[in-house]
Amino acid sequence: MVSVFPVEVSPIDSLPLLAQALPEIRVEARVAVTFTITPPGENALHFSAEALAKWSSRYSIPLPLIENSAELLPPAPALVQPIPANAGPDDESSNDDEPVWQIKDHAIRKEGKTLYDRLGHSYHIKRTSKISRTWRCNRHAKPHFCRGIAFEVMGAKSFSVKVSHTCPANLDVERDASLITKAKVNACSNPLVSSRKVVEKEMLKIFQQNPDRNFPVVANVVRAVQRKKQSSYPKNRTDLHFEWGPFERCIPDGYFRADVVIDTPRRYARHLIFATDQQLHLLRKAKRWYGDGTFFLCPTPFYQVFGIHAFIRHGNLDKQVPLVTVLMSGKRKKDYVAVFSSILELPTPLGEPRVEEFMMDFEAAMWQACRAVFPTVKPVGCSFHLTQSFYRNIKAIGLSPAYRKDSQTRNTCRELLSLYLLPAEKIRKRFQSIASNATGLMLRFCNYVETTYINSTIWPPECWSMFMQHVRTNNNVEGLASTNLVAFLIKMHAKAEKLAMTAKLLSQKQVL
The fraction of the chain above a pLDDT of 70, given in percent, is: 77
Distance, CA of 461 to CA of 444 (rounded, Å): 20
Cα 67 versus chain centre, distance: 43
Instruction: Give a three-class secondary structure readout of 302-330.
Output: CCEEEEEEEEEEECCEEEEEEEEEEEECC
Number of H helices, E strands in the chain: 17, 13
| Distance in angstroms (rounded) separating the CA atoms of residues 444 and 362 | 21
DSSP state of 77: P
pLDDT exceeds 70 at position 48: no
Chain CA centroid to CA 337, Å: 37
DSSP 262-311: EE-SS-EEEEEEE--HHHHHHHHH-SEEEEEEE-TTPPTT-SEEEEEEEE
Q: Measure the CA angle with vertex 353, ends 350 and 355; round to 5°.
A: 145
Pairing of strands 378-381, 357-360: parallel
Report how far residue 189's alpha carbon sits from residue 181's, in angstroms, rounded to the nearest whole number: 13
Distances (CA, A) of 474 to 132, 322, 419, 489: 63, 11, 18, 21
- For residue 90, the one-letter residue type is D
Q: What pLDDT score was predicted for residue 347?
A: 80
The Cα 224–Cα 183 span in angstroms is 9
Mean pLDDT, to the nearest integer, of 19-32? 53
pLDDT tens sequence across 63-93: 444 444 444 444 444 333 343 444 444 444 3
Of the candidate ranges 127-141, 343-357, 376-390, the one whose mean pLDDT is the lowest: 343-357
Angle formed at CA 460 by CA 459 and CA 462, multiple of 5 degrees: 120
Q: Which residues of 163-199 are buried (b: 16+ CB within 10 A; e: fewer)?
A: eebebeebeebbbbbebbbbbbebbeeebeebbeebb
pLDDT interval class at 482 (50, 70, 90): low
Angle at 441 between CA 436 and CA 444, to 5 degrees: 65
pLDDT at 474: 65
pLDDT in the model for residue 462: 92
What is the set of domains in the chain, with CATH numbers?
A: 102-169 (2.20.25.240), 172-232 (no CATH), 244-382+474-508 (no CATH), 384-463 (no CATH)
Neighbouring C-beta atoms of residue 23, cutoff 10 Å: 6
Instruction: Give me the mean pLDDT over the 480-494 stretch.
Output: 77
| Radius of gyration in angstroms for the set of CA atoms belonging to the chain, rounded to a whole number | 40
| Residues pairing with 317 in the sheet | 314
In this prediction, residue 468 carries a pLDDT of: 83
pLDDT of residue 139: 86
What's the pLDDT tens digit per position in 276-285?
999 998 999 8
123 and 173 Cβ atoms separated by less than 8 Å: no
Using alpha carbons, select from 381, 305, 372, 292 the residue that is nearest to residue 334.
372
Taking only the tens place, the pLDDT of each residue in 339-370 is 999 999 888 766 778 899 999 989 999 999 99
pLDDT band at 255 (very low <50, low <70, confident <90, very high): very high
User: Is the pLDDT reported for residue 193 higher than 70?
Assistant: yes
Residue 11: is the preceding peptide bond cis (ω within 30°)? no
Q: What is the dihedral of CA 366, 368, 369, 373, to 10 degrees?
A: 140
CA triple 223-321-506, angle to 5 deg: 105
